[in-house]
Structure 1
Amino acid sequence: MPSSASPRPDVPEVPDYRDLAGLYRDLHAHPELAFCEHRTARIVADRLRAAGYETTSGVGGTGVVGVLRNGDGPTVALRADMDALPVEERTGLPYASTARATDGDGDAVPLMHACGHDMHVSCLLGAAARLAADRSAWRGTLLLVFQPAEEVGRGAGAMIDDGLFERFARPDVVLGQHVAPLPAGHVGLHGGPAFAASDSLRVVLHGSGGHGSRPEACVDPVLMAAATVLRLQGIVAREVAGTSTAVVTVGALHAGNKPNVIADRAELLLTVRTFEPAVRTSVLRAVERIVRAEAAASGAPRDPEITVTESFPAVVNDPEASERTRRTLAEVLGGARVVDPGPATGSEDIGMLAEAAGAPCVYWLLGGADPADFAAARTFEEFSRVARALPSNHSPLFAPVVGPTLRTGVTALTATARSWLGRTEATDG
């Protein structure tokens, strides 16, 4: 059972913590969509240069890379993502976002850091400053990757295609963290498949529109869409083995705009999450089969259109590297504060960076919830129940507690980076 005690007294404070907390609040108030992270990228680049990093902007669009070479030794990559979501914030915080932007479809949307990427950036900049200030304690090369467009699953690929590892350095390990509704001060690390593969699809169902009073003269795409949604839910229930895991969610259904008009098309937006490649293939084939069958059963005048809009593989934490990292996190945070949350059905594209580099990946969850919310939990079941009840990532109410989350995040990144970098004679002595 995770402890909710105060942080260990021997864990050093984040350098310039007030400045870092101010940075976090500023980033939270100024979110930017995927591949539009221009302001965030400028702030990141300025701070990296001030800390002594060789800094390059515009990598993979709006990505920023910082390199700090400190003698012979391993190369360690630390990664943070920068983009926000089209979500209207409802936290009521004094630094809540009121920003709006135009998305890729030309629609005006609200913006919010509803997934915590502002926290990821702030923690990595804090760790960058700490590591740069203590170069006498390590040897090797730090490769700091501030990545755009994680939310659309294209940022890691864009940086790889722009020569990330050829232009800068090829790491021996890729490390990162993602804030989540665990109690602040805790981290969650699971070896093996840790985050699900993600596939997003746009499905357009074609009908034949007309007057709402004469459905017999039409092919109703709303009914076709409703039947499709219901049938899609049978994939996981009846086509995926109980020993495997999959999620099929229809996140949006759009059709028509008048009560007495039968539209001529309906659009579904789906997400599919899986861990095993064979299950992934099977589920995607089942989605296509059901969509096409329901269209045919409805007498659709045209075949449906099925487009994959986002796709990236599962994040698999290297077991040996994860155990090594777990020991380090337990040393600096306390063993009771390092938990195994099991596989998460959320998705991430950091695994693409590790795969392209040919390096092990270690990616953990960073607690961002108020520890007081968990104070009465005495069993793992009670702890899990509290976590499920809290606003989670992508919620308009998601808001990490700033202080302990930043301290833990900076400490975790700094300690794990040092554990993989070379040691100096002074350190060994």
Structure 2
Amino acid sequence: MDLKAHVFAELGDLINVYKQLHANPELSGQEAMSSKLVADQLEACGIVVTRNFGGHGVVGVLENGDGPTVMVRGDMDALPITEETGVDYASSSRVTDNSGNEVGIMHACGHDIHMTTLVGTARVLSKCKNHWNGKVIFVGQPAEEVGAGAKGMIESGLFNKFGCPDYCLTTHVIPHVEAGRITIKSGPIMAGIFQLKIIVRGVGGHGAIPHESKDPIVLAARIVTSLQTIISREISPLTPAVITIGSIHGGTRANIIPAEVVMEATVRFSDQDTEKQILKAIERTCRFEALSMGIQENNLPIIEFDETMHLPATINDSDLVDIVRESANENIGHENVMEAEMLMVSEDFSLFRSAGGPKISSCMFFTGAVAKEELNLCRAQNTKPPSLHNSRFCPPPEPTIKTAVTVMAGSVLKIMQ
């Protein structure tokens, strides 16, 4: 079978699909048009489609005799960013956010490429059914950016209704790798995440009489500094982990010591043991920094765990990585297949791996998404291409889509053969 010829035959129309998706982005939980487009495209391939599953989720099932079950996932939501790419298919969509501000919407994380890859893989597999046996579950997933989409589909009974896959596959664009190439690795490839709100309590008073107060701003500053030593002095330097205090609010005027300060933290980790170690260390640090300032037991910091932003690390299983790597070597050339570096960003694709009980063999590979000419120019100028979540992020459609679809479809075929 000439996989590359099949992909090339679809490429022109897939680029049109991509441009339509790029020009009409939708925020998390609002993916009505994107969901309909993906569902319509899958149905046009003869795939049995269930719409609006777990929100705006799409599930397409393509069965072709006895064999393994493979899930292919593409996420669909965009970001509240005003696009500045200047391309003729740029988004002009705008929306009012929860604060009443009008903001632009943009596919600044490549989910338009991911949806197009899902559609392209479905087209290729539906047209070469004499070359594979088994079942493919195509999942168009909403709300990845807010960590809610995979959970919503799983809790709605995704694997109970459509069958538990033997393998889960997805791709994510990466902006610092040349289009036409992929990167891949076994083990953790994206970090897990949990988020906390830390309410630092003290005793308010006059700024000129600090000894009659317990200053929560000073305590918050001590906690922020001490939290960084958890990573630098308690976690092995060889273990990826990050603690970031991204928000801190307290006080109203210069001469008023407030009663409390509220901080928000994001924590990234590569394995469950490290996650538990960091959480315990944060709790210990907050408690004993407060006690060292004379804060009473009934007024110690309150730590609130944000269950809506808690995801495990994205783990690539070596058996499936070997299959994807072999497929990529055969179809795009071994010179275009590189070892990935773990990213400390997080992905809710990680939830599918354990959603069926026993661990499901899973793999995410990164698809290069910057033109060779732009990458060379950046290197010459000692700069970097626009990153994910940047208003100027814009993958070159033809090589990016061609590579992603070729590797994805080729990997499914290799499993199914």
Give the TM-score category using the shorter length.
0.7 to 0.9
**Contact 2:207 2:255 survives alignment (8 Å):** yes
Q: Which residue of 2 aligns with 1:370?
A: 371
Q: Which residue of 1 aligns with 2:322?
A: 323
**Contact 2:324 2:407 survives alignment (8 Å):** no
Distance 1:102 1:237, change over 3 A: same
**Contact 1:191 1:322 survives alignment (8 Å):** yes
Q: Which residue of 1 aligns with 2:336?
A: 337
User: Aligned pair 1:229/2:224, yes or no?
Assistant: yes
Q: CA deviation at 1:55?
A: 0.8
Distance 1:26 1:259, change over 3 A: farther
Q: Which residue of 2 aligns with 1:286?
A: 281
Q: CA deviation at 1:391?
A: 2.3
Q: CA deviation at 1:313?
A: 1.1
Cα distance in 2, alignment partners of residues 10 and 43 from structure 1 = 25
Distance 1:210 1:86, change over 3 A: farther
**Contact 2:7 2:120 survives alignment (8 Å):** no
Read off the aligned partner of 1:188 and give its amino acid letter.
T
List gaps (5 residues or longer) in structure 2. Answer: none
Aligned match for 1:113, one of 107, 116, 121: 107
**Contact 1:295 1:304 survives alignment (8 Å):** yes
Cα distance in 2, alignment partners of residues 373 and 279 from structure 1 = 38
Q: CA deviation at 1:292?
A: 3.3
Cα distance in 2, alignment partners of residues 174 and 320 from structure 1 = 12
Read off the aligned partner of 1:17 and give its amino acid letter.
L
**Contact 1:127 1:414 survives alignment (8 Å):** yes
Cα distance in 2, alignment partners of residues 238 and 119 from structure 1 = 40
Which of 162-171 and 246-255 deviates more? Answer: 246-255
Q: CA deviation at 1:319?
A: 1.0
Q: Which residue of 2 aligns with 1:156?
A: 150
Cα distance in 2, alignment partners of residues 414 and 145 from structure 1 = 14
Q: Which residue of 2 aligns with 1:305?
A: 302
**Contact 2:25 2:91 survives alignment (8 Å):** no
Q: Which residue of 2 aligns with 1:72?
A: 66
Question: SS of the residue aligned with 1:248?
Answer: strand
Read off the aligned partner of 1:164 and give its amino acid letter.
L
Cα distance in 2, alignment partners of residues 117 and 140 from structure 1 = 27
User: Aligned pair 1:132/2:98, yes or no?
Assistant: no
**Contact 1:15 1:130 survives alignment (8 Å):** no
Read off the aligned partner of 1:46 and give its amino acid letter.
D
Q: How does 1:363-402 map to 2 (within 5 A)?
A: 363-375=364-376, 389-402=384-397
Q: How does 1:18-417 map to 2 (within 5 A)?
A: 18-94=12-88, 95-103=90-98, 110-181=104-175, 182-207=177-202, 219-256=214-251, 264-297=259-292, 302-309=299-306, 310-357=309-356, 358=358, 359-375=360-376, 389-417=384-412
Read off the aligned partner of 1:333 and give its amino acid letter.
I
Question: SS of the residue aligned with 1:27?
Answer: helix
**Contact 1:187 1:366 survives alignment (8 Å):** yes
Residues 81-116 of structure 1 deviation map (CA, whole Å, 9 limit, x = unaligned)? 12223444443444135422434x887655332221
Read off the aligned partner of 2:325 and give its amino acid letter.
R
Equivalences, count: 408
**Contact 1:219 1:300 survives alignment (8 Å):** yes
**Contact 1:89 1:111 survives alignment (8 Å):** yes
Which of 226-235 and 165-174 deviates more? Answer: 226-235
Cα distance in 2, alignment partners of residues 286 and 127 from structure 1 = 45
Q: Which residue of 2 aligns with 1:5?
A: none
TM-score by length of 2: 0.87
Q: Which residue of 2 aligns with 1:4?
A: none
Residues 354-409 of structure 1 deviation map (CA, whole Å, 9 limit, x = unaligned)? 222342111111110122244489xxxx89x97x8332222333222222111111
Q: CA deviation at 1:235?
A: 1.3
List gaps (5 residues or longer) in structure 1. Answer: 1-7, 423-429
Read off the aligned partner of 2:413 and give its amino acid letter.
R
**Contact 2:3 2:410 survives alignment (8 Å):** no
Cα distance in 2, alignment partners of residues 51 and 405 from structure 1 = 22
Distance 1:361 1:62, change over 3 A: same
Read off the aligned partner of 2:407 and give its amino acid letter.
A
Residues 216-268 of structure 1 deviation map (CA, whole Å, 9 limit, x = unaligned)? 66655444433322222211111111232211122233345666665554332
Cα distance in 2, alignment partners of residues 213 and 369 from structure 1 = 57
TM-score by length of 1: 0.84
Which of 332-341 and 48-57 deviates more? Answer: 48-57
Distance 1:58 1:350, change over 3 A: same
**Contact 1:11 1:411 survives alignment (8 Å):** no
Q: CA deviation at 1:208?
A: 5.2
Q: RMSD of the alignment, in Å?
A: 3.0
**Contact 1:332 1:411 survives alignment (8 Å):** yes
**Contact 2:166 2:361 survives alignment (8 Å):** yes
**Contact 1:197 1:274 survives alignment (8 Å):** yes
% same residue: 36
